Amino acid sequence: MNTSWQQHLLPEIHTLKSKRVIVRVDWNMPIKDGEIIDTSRFDVSIPFLKELSFAGAKIVILTHFGEKGESLGIIASHVTKTLPFISFTQSLDFDEIKKSAESLEEGDALLLENVRMWKGETDNVPSLSESFASLGNIFINDAFSVSHREHSSVVGIAKRMLSYFGPLCARELENLSKAITPVKPAILIVGGAKISTKLLLIQHYLDQGVTVFLGGAMAHNIWKGRGLEIGKSFYDSNLKISDTILNHPLILTPSDVILESGEIVDYNNIPADGMVVDCGDQTVEMLGEKISSSKTIIANGPLGLYERGWRKGSEEVLAKIANSEVTSYIGGGDTVAIAHSLHLLQNFTFVSLGGGAMLEFLSAGTLVGIESITNQSK
């Protein structure tokens, strides 16, 4: 496990006075009908940005938004109203942007347009990384949730200038480092659609003697591999799971499931025309017993067809974790959204802002965005 990140924490904040500081944040917030429906990703970054401003830094802010390179307009409107020292530029001309950055007064900040509107961001094109780096003297990565992406605004820029981890990123690294080798007995509760993206994580914990509960469509792959009927339930058809995982004694799957019809059946009694949408009450009770007898819980991903409203299993299991005395680490967009809707976020030991980044960090102990900073000469 790479712990050298601790040597790259921010120095005393007052030393950043008059310096142009580039901060990578994650303000990829959900929007519905032209309104931001969850501002929490922005809210958590406010204290640090205020601190930088108060210290007299000149701040350049980078973030992505959406998958298609949409404008930050709606996000920027909320940001600049909340923090008036931030201005927004829609320019994609680096000469123009650089002039704006160089003319910043102490304590002021410039928010750039969605980084994915520049061709080359997701391919980490050197020329774009150079352009980003030219806007400041120091780079601060405070976006753990994208630190598994080898993008220009994450990895490319960090390799070209003095770089540090911001407080949100450091908090993720400090807490998740503890979860890599959890105090046992422990259980990993993992859900979602594709098991292929989580096989390394599953194996990592099985090798430590940690119980792994697979919910959502991942369980369907296990059952399919064991020759059981899964009906019309979704599964990752391109994947063949090894026997070592398929029949591992520490792998748990739901004992009963809810079908799209509303009927509850045992996992080995799914009809050929049935589709599994959630885990049943017996499964929730079984997980409750496992939770209460564990010392560490790690949970990531929904246990049902969350996007279609099947969230009862996820809600009840999260409530059991929240109401236990167990050390708990949760993450993943859907999981955090459910916990937020239940007003339970304060009840977990740590809530990660990373989904894929959390899973990759737990299985590998590092991320490309972490390495790009820690591999610098100190």
pLDDT tens digits, the chain, 378 residues: what are they? 556 888 898 888 999 999 999 999 999 998 989 999 889 899 999 999 999 999 999 999 999 999 888 999 999 999 999 999 999 999 999 999 999 999 999 999 999 999 999 999 999 999 999 999 999 999 999 999 999 999 999 999 999 999 999 999 999 999 999 999 999 999 999 998 888 889 999 999 999 999 999 999 999 999 999 999 999 999 988 888 889 899 999 999 999 999 999 999 999 999 999 999 999 999 999 999 999 999 999 999 999 998 899 999 999 999 999 999 999 999 988 899 899 889 999 999 999 988 899 999 999 999 999 999 999 754
- Do 37 and 150 lie in one domain? The reply is yes
User: Per DSSP, what are the bridge partners of residue 59?
Assistant: 21, 109
3-state DSSP assignment of residue 158: helix
- Same domain for 342 and 201, yes or no, is yes
* Domain CATH code at residue 152: 3.40.50.1260
**Residue 104: DSSP 8-state:** P
Q: What is the pLDDT of residue 2?
A: 53
- Could you tell me the residue range of the domain that residue 216 belongs to? 181-347
Residues 75 and 128 in one domain: yes
Close Cβ partners of 37 (under 8 Å, ≥ 6 residues apart): 29, 30, 31
Q: Fill in the amino acid letter for 117.
A: M
| Whether residue 99 is found in the same domain as residue 158 | yes
Is residue 74 located within the same domain as residue 151?
A: yes
Name the residue among 319, 318, 337, 328 with its Cα closest to residue 298: 328
**Per-residue tokens: 102:** 């160089």
* Residue 38: per-residue pLDDT: 86
Whole-number Å distance between alpha carbons of 190 and 199: 11
| Assigned token pair, 22 | 């580039």
Residues in the chain: 378
Asked if residue 144 and residue 12 are part of one domain, the reply reads yes
pLDDT value at position 68? Answer: 80
Tokens of 325: 């005395």
C-alpha dihedral over 124, 125, 131, 135, to 10 degrees?
10
CA 129, 13, 47, 82 dihedral sign is: negative
Both 37 and 154 in one domain: the answer is: yes
Does some domain include residue 361?
Answer: no
Residue 356 lies in a domain: no
Q: Give a yes or no: residue 357 inside a domain.
A: no
One domain, residues 200 and 219: yes
Q: Is residue 40 part of a domain?
A: yes
Which helix H or strand E contains 188, and what residues bound it?
strand 186-190
121, two tokens: 């961001």
CA distance 237 to 123: 28
Instruction: Verify that 59 and 122 share a domain, yes or no.
Output: yes
The answer to whether residue 281 is domain-embedded is yes
Does one domain contain both 86 and 203?
no
One domain for residues 120 and 201: no
- The reply to whether 353 falls in a domain is no
Number of domains in the chain: 2
Q: Is residue 148 part of a domain?
A: yes
Domain membership flag for residue 39 = yes
194 shares its domain with 73: no
CA distances 190 to 82, 186, 223, 356, 370, Å, are: 36, 13, 16, 12, 24
